[in-house]
């Protein structure tokens, strides 16, 4: 069992129903970050080179099965045309008849698949209807593959199906990072909350050699060991869970690295005065002090870890990186990882939520081996879960 690629399909003269994820940030009707659009270009180009014509299916936002004008895909047409270098024809209510009347080399964009509740319900009638719109199905939406929807999963069973170029690249990169990595393999897992990354931590400690914890999550671990972190963000109800994760890591042979010091401040604002404080079971902060970033010694220790790793997975920042100086640790560590990547000593794979924004801020996004376009799907993959959109391509 495996998935096919565009190379395995006969696309000549075919309408290729292509699921993409163009759920991009927009302001005032304009795309503010076109990364997801740029990353589907190879798929569109290759389909057209093989004589196929793409019929694009995509969602935008969460309209909850209703028509929501602000979530129409129509305003995306200019950005798609600029990226693809050809005309894109938008259609609100497609039919096979209408599609067949379009030029043989047309690129067609179908309105937001989530404007009907049948999409998220993975309704067989919707999957059946979508299947009439193409001769072949190509899924290039890895970042929506954690959804079992009609356009991501249901329709894949009804047509000859394959993975697009971006889907292929995402799966290869994530397999190289987690399924069969060059060892030692480590992960940086940061961000605010342990609660949102429990499954991720539990799965990772079984698969990797070193787990480096950052952000508010690290506070919860330090507090679970007895440290008093004052007003720092932490989840007091998760101390037992944090200890369970540490026990599981110990028995799985995964070392957990927590920040040995932190940048502490009394206010969370740009340029706030801060000081370095040692973080451990004996730390006692004042009730109005907050740990807002990992400290200098912590980052030195992290860089020493990076120096021996061969593979590094990165999800989440070390501190409150949106506001200087609390971006210091994230930027320094990201630069260290980038340097080793550029030297050919480390494979770096990043994804999920805030991560890409943090790496962009550090100016290293182009230096990492692979940056996933996925948020939730990246996390679910790292949690070891089967992604319905990927499973549906297995034939």
From candidates 51, 65, 75, 376, binder to Mg ion by CB under 5 A: 376
Part of the chain binding Mg ion (CB under 5 A), chosen from 30-38, 178-186, 205-213, 375-383 = 375-383
144 binds, among Mg ion, ligand 3PG, none (CB under 5 to 8 A by kind): ligand 3PG
Residues present in the chain in total: 395
68-99 burial: b if 16+ Cβ within 10 Å, else e: eeebbbebbeebbeebbeeebebbeebeeeeb
Other Cβ atoms closer than 10 A to 297? 15
36 binds, among ligand 3PG, Mg ion, none (CB under 5 to 8 A by kind): none
Distance of CA 201 to the CA centre of its chain: 16
Part of the chain binding Mg ion (CB under 5 A), chosen from 74-82, 171-179, 200-208, 376-384 = 376-384
How many whole angstroms separate alpha carbon 81 and alpha carbon 86?
5
384 binds, among Mg ion, ligand 3PG, none (CB under 5 to 8 A by kind): none
If residue 190 lies in a helix (H) or strand (E), which one and from where to where? none
Backbone angles phi, psi at 31, to 5 degrees: -70, 125
Considering only residues 351 through 380, tell me which ones interact with ligand 3PG, judged by CB under 6 A.
375-376
179: DSSP letter: I
- Residues labelled as active-site residues: 36, 193, 353, 376
Question: Minimum Å distance from CB 22 to ligand 3PG?
Answer: 9
With binding defined as CB under 6 A, does residue 23 bind ligand 3PG? yes
Question: Minimum Å distance from CB 119 to ligand 3PG?
Answer: 11
With binding defined as CB under 5 A, does residue 375 bind Mg ion? yes
| Residue with smaller CB distance to ligand 3PG, 62 or 284 | 62
From candidates 30, 49, 62, 172, binder to ligand 3PG by CB under 6 A: 62
Question: Minimum Å distance from CB 148 to ligand 3PG?
Answer: 11
Extract long-range pairs of 320-323: CB within 8 Å, 24+ residues apart: 320/268, 320/292, 320/293, 321/293, 321/354, 321/358, 321/361, 323/268, 323/269, 323/270
How many whole angstroms separate alpha carbon 93 and alpha carbon 299?
54
Which stretches of the chain bind ligand 3PG, using CB under 6 A? Answer: 21, 23, 62, 143-144, 147, 375-376
Give contact residues for Mg ion (rule: CB under 5 A): 375-376
């Amino acid at each position: 069992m495996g998935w096919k690629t565009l190379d395995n399909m006969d696309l000549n003269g075919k309408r290729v129903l292509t699921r993409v994820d163009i759920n991009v940030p927009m302001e005032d009707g304009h795309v503010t970050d076109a990364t997801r659009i740029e990353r589907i270009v190879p798929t569109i180009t290759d389909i057209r080179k093989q004589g196929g014509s793409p019929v694009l299916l995509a969602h935008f936002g969460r309209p909850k099965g209703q028509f929501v004008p602000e979530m129409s895909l129509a305003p995306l047409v200019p950005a798609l045309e600029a990226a693809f270098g050809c005309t894109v024809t938008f259609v609100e209510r497609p039919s096979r008849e209408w599609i067949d009347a379009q030029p043989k080399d047309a690129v067609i964009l179908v309105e937001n698949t989530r404007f009907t509740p049948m999409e998220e319900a993975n309704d067989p009638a919707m999957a059946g209807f979508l299947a009439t719109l193409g001769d072949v199905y190509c899924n290039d939406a890895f970042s929506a593959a954690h959804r079992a929807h009609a356009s991501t999963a249901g329709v894949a069973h009804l047509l000859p199906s394959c993975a697009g170029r971006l889907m292929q690249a995402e799966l290869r990169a994530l397999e190289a990072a987690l399924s069969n990595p060059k060892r030692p393999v480590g992960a940086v897992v940061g961000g605010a909350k342990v609660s949102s990354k429990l499954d991720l931590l539990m799965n990772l400690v079984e698969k990797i050699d070193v787990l480096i914890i950052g952000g508010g999550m690290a506070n919860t671990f330090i507090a679970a060991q007895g440290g008093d972190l004052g007003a720092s963000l932490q989840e007091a109800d998760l101390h037992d869970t944090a200890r369970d994760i540490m026990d599981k890591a110990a028995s799985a042979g995964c070392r957990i690295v927590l920040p040995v010091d932190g940048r502490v401040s009394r206010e969370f604002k740009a340029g706030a005065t801060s000081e370095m404080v040692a973080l451990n079971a004996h730390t006692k902060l004042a009730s109005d002090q907050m740990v807002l970033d990992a400290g200098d010694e912590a980052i030195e220790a992290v860089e020493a870890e990076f120096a021996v790793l061969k593979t590094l997975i990165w999800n989440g920042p070390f501190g409150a990186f949106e506001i200087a100086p609390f971006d210091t640790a994230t930027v320094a560590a990201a630069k260290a990882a980038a340097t080793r990547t550029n030297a050919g000593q480390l494979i770096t794979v990043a994804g999920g939520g805030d991560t890409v924004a943090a790496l962009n801020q550090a100016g290293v996004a182009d230096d990492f081996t692979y940056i996933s376009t996925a948020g939730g799907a990246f996390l679910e993959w790292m949690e070891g879960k089967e992604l319905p959109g990927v499973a549906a391509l297995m034939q």
